[in-house]
Amino acid sequence: MTIFDLTPPSDAQRKDITAGLDRDEKRVLLEHGTEAAFCGVFLDNKKDGVYTCRFCGLPLFRSSAKFDSGTGWPSFFKPYDDAHIKLIRDTSYGMIRTEEVCARCGSHLGHVFPDGPQPTGDRHCLNSVSLSFTENGEALPDVLGRGAPEGEPAAAEA
């Protein structure tokens, strides 16, 4: 069970946040697009911290779960909290895949595949443009003004 408020953003909050997104962010987050491989800003990020939803700020993955999958997109073997990710069957482009969206705001994050490392065997393959990053010790984003634990320092997994 998560300690974060998963209530979706209000219509007014959605409108305000969407107005601050660039064209590529809108295409990926809101229209289920994909950024080009090997060009995302977080692909080679080696810093310790937490990856959050670019749209609503919900913590999604810890750097300790990140690995180099060789696919060209940031990859993780487990989420920050399973409750923070919603999985949806994706049959676009003649394929059957599992899409990942933020459980709070519904923004498109990427896809999960069953070919990752142990202990989970999962590869959460994400678009950098769908993410923000907070180094351990820095305040987590509080995009929706919800208060603690948002806005408090990110910490390594206990």
157, 137, 114, 130: which is closest to 42 by C-alpha? Answer: 130
39 is catalytic: no
Helix (H) / strand (E) element for 16: namely helix 11-19
Note whether 13 and 144 are within 8 A (CB).
Answer: yes
> In Å, what is the CA distance from 31 to each residue of 27, 69, 101, 139?
5, 25, 12, 29
The residue annotated as part of the active site, out of 53, 56, 105, 125, is 125
Residues with a catalytic annotation lie at: 125
